[in-house]
Amino acid sequence: EVQLLESGGGLVQPGGSLRLSCAASGFTFSSYAMSWVRQAPGKGLEWVSAISGSGGSTYYADSVKGRFTISRDYSKNTLYLQMNSLRADDTALYYCAKGMVGGVIVPPDYWGQGTLVTVSS
Amino acid sequence: EIVLTQSPDFQSVTPKEKVTITCRASQSIGSNLHWYQQKPDQSPKLLIQYASQSFSGVPSRFTGSGYGTEFTLTINSLEAEDAATYYCHQSSSLPWTFGQGTKVEIK
Q: Which residues of B touch A113 (CB under 8 A)?
A: 42-43
Strand pairing category for B4-7 and A68-73? unpaired
Q: What is the pLDDT of residues B22-72, one digit of tens each?
A: 999 999 999 999 999 999 999 999 999 999 999 999 999 999 999 999 999
Q: What is the pLDDT of residues A70-117, one digit of tens each?
A: 999 999 999 999 999 999 999 999 999 999 987 788 899 999 999 999
A113/B97 Cβ within 8 A: no
Query: What's the pLDDT score for residue A37?
Result: 98
Cα B40 from Cα B18, distance rounded (Å): 21
Q: Which residues of B touch A68 (CB under 8 A)?
A: none
Residue of chain B nearest A108, judged by CA positions? B46
Helix (H) or strand (E) holding B33: strand B33-38
Mean predicted lDDT score pLDDT of chain B: 97
Cα B10 from Cα A74, distance rounded (Å): 42
Cα angle, residue A95 at apex, residues A121 and B2 outer, rounded to 5°? 100
Question: Which of A30, A72, A36, A70 has the alpha carbon at shortest distance from A53?
Answer: A30
Q: What is the pLDDT of residues A7-65, one digit of tens each?
A: 999 999 999 999 999 999 999 999 999 999 999 999 999 999 999 999 999 999 999 99
